[in-house]
Structure 1
Amino acid sequence: MKLQVKPSSVSGALTAPPSKSCTHRAIILAALAKGTSKINGALLSRDTRATMQAMEAFGATVKEENGVLTIRGGRLKAPMTAIDCMNSGTTLRLCCGVASLLDKNVTFTGDESLKGRPMKPLFSAFAEMGVYCAATPQGFIIRGPNNGRWAHIKGDVSSQFISSLLISSALKPRDTDIVLTSPLISKPYIAITQTMMAQFGVKCSEMKDGYRVMGGQSYRPRDYTVPGDYSSAAFALGAAALAGKVTISGLDPQDVQGDRAIISFLQEFGAEVTINSNEVTVQQSELKGIKADIGDCPDLFPILAVIATQAEGETVLYNAAHLKHKESDRIAAVVTFLKNMGAEIEEKDDGCLIKGKCKLTGCTINPSGDHRILMAAAVAALVAEGKTIINDGDCYDVSYPAFLKDFKDIGADVEEVE
Structure 2
Amino acid sequence: MIKEINCKKVNGTVRIPASKSYGHRALIALSLSKGKGVLDNFDMSLDIMATLKCLEDLGVDFIFSDRSLSIDATRFGQFRDRTMKPEESGSTLRFFIPITLLFDEVFEFRCKTGLLKRPLTVYEELFKDLDIVLYRDSLESLVVKGKLTSGEFTMRGDVSSQFISGMLLVLPMLEGDSVLKVTGELESEGYVNMTLKVMEDFGIEVARDGNTFRVKGNQSYLARDYKIEGDYSQGAFMLAAGVLGGDVTVTGLEKGTAQGDADIVRIIKDMGGVIDETPDGLRARRSDLKAIDIDISQTPDLTPILGVLLSLSKGTGRLLNGKRLRYKESDRIKTTVAMITSLGGDAREDGEDIVIEGKDMLKGGRSFAFNDHRIVMASAVAALRSLDKVYIDGYEAVNKSYPEFFNDFEHMLCSR
Tell me which interval the TM-score lies in, with the shorter structure as reference length.
over 0.9
Shift of 1:274: 0.2
Task: Say what the alpha-carbon RMSD is for the aligned residues.
Answer: 1.6
Partner of 1:114: 115
Partner of 1:92: 93
Q: Distance in 2 between matches of 1:315 and 1:226?
A: 35
Q: For structure 1, which runs of at least 5 residues remain unmatched after alignment? A: none
Alignment of 1:145-156 (within 5 A): 145-156=147-158
Q: Is this contact kept in 1: 2:4–2:391, CA < 8 A?
A: yes
C-alpha distance 278-141 of structure 1, shift in aligned 2 (>3 A): farther
Letter in 2 for 1:54: C
C-alpha distance 208-66 of structure 1, shift in aligned 2 (>3 A): closer
Alignment of 1:4-43 (within 5 A): 4-43=4-43
Partner of 1:316: 318
Shift of 1:359: 3.6
SS of 1:328 mapped into structure 2: coil
Q: Distance in 1 between matches of 2:240 and 2:356?
A: 16
- Determine which of 172, 176, 185 is the counterpart of 1:170: 172
Q: Does 1:51 align with 2:51?
A: yes
Alignment of 1:83-232 (within 5 A): 83-137=84-138, 138-232=140-234
Could you state the TM-score of these two structures normalised by the residue count of structure 1?
0.95
Q: Which range moves more in the overlay, 348-357 or 53-62?
A: 348-357
Q: Which range moves more in the overlay, 2-11 or 225-234?
A: 2-11
Q: Which range moves more in the overlay, 107-116 or 352-361?
A: 352-361
Q: Is this contact kept in 1: 2:84–2:108, CA < 8 A?
A: yes
1:279-308: CA deviations, max 9, x gaps? Answer: 100001111011111221111111011011
Q: Distance in 1 between matches of 2:176 and 2:155?
A: 19
Q: Does 1:66 align with 2:66?
A: yes
C-alpha distance 79-326 of structure 1, shift in aligned 2 (>3 A): farther
Letter in 1 for 2:23: T
| Superposed structure 1 runs of 4+ greater than 4 Å apart | none
Identity %: 32
Shift of 1:133: 1.1
Shift of 1:77: 4.0
Shift of 1:7: 4.5
Q: Does 1:333 align with 2:331?
A: no
Q: Is this contact kept in 2: 1:129–1:149, CA < 8 A?
A: no
C-alpha distance 334-350 of structure 1, shift in aligned 2 (>3 A): same
SS of 1:170 mapped into structure 2: helix
SS of 1:215 mapped into structure 2: coil
Q: Is this contact kept in 2: 1:344–1:358, CA < 8 A?
A: no
Q: Does 1:363 align with 2:355?
A: no
- Determine which of 390, 393, 399 is the counterpart of 2:392: 390
Q: Distance in 2 between matches of 1:208 and 1:298?
A: 22
Could you state the TM-score of these two structures normalised by the residue count of structure 2?
0.96
Letter in 2 for 1:226: I
Q: Distance in 1 between matches of 2:211 and 2:41?
A: 36
Shift of 1:182: 1.4
Letter in 1 for 2:13: A
Partner of 2:356: 354
Q: Is this contact kept in 1: 2:312–2:362, CA < 8 A?
A: no
1:32-62: CA deviations, max 9, x gaps? Answer: 1121011111121111010001011111112
Partner of 2:77: 76
Q: Is this contact kept in 2: 1:345–1:354, CA < 8 A?
A: yes
Shift of 1:349: 3.1
Shift of 1:351: 3.0
Shift of 1:148: 4.1
Q: Distance in 2 between matches of 1:98 and 1:78?
A: 13
Letter in 1 for 2:382: A
Q: Is this contact kept in 1: 2:178–2:216, CA < 8 A?
A: yes
Q: Distance in 2 between matches of 1:401 and 1:391?
A: 16
Alignment of 1:403-414 (within 5 A): 403-412=405-414
Shift of 1:79: 5.2
Q: Distance in 2 between matches of 1:101 and 1:405?
A: 41
Q: Distance in 2 between matches of 1:111 and 1:307?
A: 32
Q: Distance in 1 between matches of 2:315 and 2:167?
A: 43
Letter in 1 for 2:99: V
Q: Is this contact kept in 1: 2:193–2:258, CA < 8 A?
A: yes
Q: Does 1:304 align with 2:306?
A: yes
